[in-house]
Amino acid sequence: MQFQRLHGSLGGAWILGAGLIGLLANVTSIAGAAMVLGVGVVPPMLLMLRWNHPVPVSVHQENP
């Protein structure tokens, strides 16, 4: 659960950062807005798709 929050937070921060950069750069054209949208959305989507969850570790180990 903690890792889901972590990559959700990273993705949200990336999207907000890209939007803020677009606002500060005063992007007004459709092509510029599409580029800001692509840069803001595509990397977090890839992060969520490619994120490898940690493998659960067994606490109890049996002796052979």
Write the pLDDT tens digit of every residue in 30-63.
999 899 989 898 888 887 788 776 677 766 666 6
Q: How far apart are CA 59 and CA 36, in angstroms?
A: 46
Q: Is residue 63 part of a domain?
A: no
Number of domains in the chain: 1
Q: Which domain holds residue 21?
A: 2-50
Residue 56 is assigned to a structural domain of this protein = no
Establish if 58 belongs to a structural domain.
no
User: Do the domain assignments include residue 42?
Assistant: yes
Is residue 13 situated within a structural domain? yes
What's the pTM value of the predicted model, to 2 decimals?
0.67
Q: Is the pLDDT of residue 7 over 70?
A: yes
List of residues 6+ apart from 25 with CB closer than 8 A:
32
Cα–Cα distance between 56 and 47 in angstroms, integer? 21
Residue 45: its pLDDT value, please?
85
Checking if the pLDDT of 2 tops 70, the result is no
Considering the domain boundaries, does residue 60 fall inside one? no
Find all residues with CB under 8 Å of 54, minimum gap 6, and list them.
3
Per the domain annotation, does 12 fall within a domain? yes
